[in-house]
A = this chain, B = another copy of it.
Amino acid sequence: VPNPNPSLLVWRSLHLADTAVCNELNTRLTDQADCSLLEHDLMAWLSATPQRRLRMIDLAMRLRITPGGLTRVVDRLVERGWIRRDTLAQNRREVQVTLTENGLRAINKARQVYANAINDTFTHHLNSQDLEQLRRIASKLLQQLELDQPC
């Protein structure tokens, strides 16, 4: 058994922590807000725009899933009445996804659950110095990684 590289161990811990947090997010969102983590993210992106609306393709890039995958997620949320497909007269090949009033209520609830989960599993275990160091390092990492695939 070879002697593992130390930075490999660091990444492994980080990845385990990330997975644990994600699992907790998914569990709580499912139980308390009737939506998955991905569905939360989708609605969060919509709610962050002035018109609460985005094109399918832009949404897919932000969520980092394929257009085909997004079609299915959107189907589910439309079914639930939380978003709506709009095609504007000016360009009928684009589909705009819009957050409905019910969707707005849903994302607000989900956001609460999400924030609590992050607080309990993440923030609560770190002090302000940890958070600042982590912020700096994560930004640095992300900046390098996203040079390849800008969003």
Measured CB to CB, the residues of A under 8 A from B are 1-2, 5-11, 13-22, 47-48, 64, 111, 114-115, 118-119, 121-123, 125-126, 130-131, 133-135, 137-142, 144-146, 149
Copies of this chain per assembly: 2
Within 8 Å by CB of A16, from B111, B122, B135, B142, lies B142
Within 8 Å by CB of A1, from B48, B123, B135, B141, lies B48
Distance between Cα atoms of A111 and B138 in the complex (Å): 25
A interface majority secondary structure: helix
Asked if A131 and B6 make an inter-chain contact with CB atoms under 8 angstroms apart, the answer reads: yes
Asked if A135 and B17 make an inter-chain contact with CB atoms under 8 angstroms apart, the answer reads: no
A123 partner residues in chain B, CB cutoff 8 A = 5, 7
Extra A-B contacts (9), CB below 8 Å, given A11-B122, A17-B142: A1-B47, A6-B135, A7-B118, A7-B131, A14-B14, A16-B142, A20-B145, A20-B146, A126-B137
